[in-house]
Structure formats: structure tokens, C-alpha cells
Structure 1
């Protein structure tokens, strides 16, 4: 994440991370983080967000959506 932030010249505060609270929860990682962001008010209706996930081997996915 730090490398991506540096390459994109984006502050790390724009990359929400909760692994220190839950470790790696595999497929549930993104939904858990989204719920946490909504509950704390950091993610609100109408915001555009980029999601990226990485799995076993070389599997990965990404999407941009409007919440």
C-alpha cells in the first residue's frame, strides 16, 4: 500500500487499512472495511471509491464505484 501511495503521489490517509484489527480475513476483507468506513462516517453516499483485492496465486480484481 505504501508503494502504491508513493507511486500515485497520494497520501496514505487515502488508503484505509484495518489489518491491524482483524489480520487477513480473505474474501471478507473488503466488505469488513467498507462497513467500518460507513460506521465511522469516512464513507458516505455519493463518494467514488476504488476497490482492489488480491488472492492466492496471481488472482486479483479491482473496481471503481459510487457508494
Structure 2
């Protein structure tokens, strides 16, 4: 709906519930390693806090900042899911 391709996205921010699901999405959509991040190996599944934690770490590391276009995506029980594209101010 945003009329963007994966190349238009600077960084993909995935809900950190399951490393295998992230790995599957990365392979399926051919997302290069420098465009996504996993911290589940350090924290485990942090539920609703996973995306904010990833964003915080990416900002602290200087990997995203003003003008960065991000795709955020999450899922939950009962086949719920959501996603958003945002540009950081």
C-alpha cells in the first residue's frame, strides 16, 4: 500500500519473538544483513517491547536516524499482525 520496494526501505524492524521467523522473512524477501537486526539472542521474546528495544539499540548504534525509512512489523497470538512504514524525524 505504501508503493515501496524493499530497496526503498533503509531498515527492517521485526518483532523479536522467534529468530526462525525473522530468518525466513529475510530469506524470502532477500533482505541484506545490513538492513535488519536481531537481539532475541540476548533478551529472548520481550513481547510488546521488542520493536521499541530494537529501535533504541539502532539509534544508539547510529544505524538509523533522521530521514531513515523503516518498515516495522509484528505479530501475535490468534493470527494478529501489523506493520507500518515510517520516516524518522
Report Cα offsets for 1:16-64 as digits up to 9, x if no partner. 1110111101000000110010001111111000000011120110000
Give the aligned partner of residue 19 of structure 1: 40
Number of aligned positions between the proteins: 67
TM-score of the pair, normalised by structure 1: 0.89
Give the aligned partner of residue 17 of structure 2: none
| Cα-Cα RMSD | 1.1
| 1:30 partnered with 2:57 | no
TM-score of the pair, normalised by structure 2: 0.69
Moved over 6 A (4+): none
Unmatched tracts of structure 1, length 5 or more: none
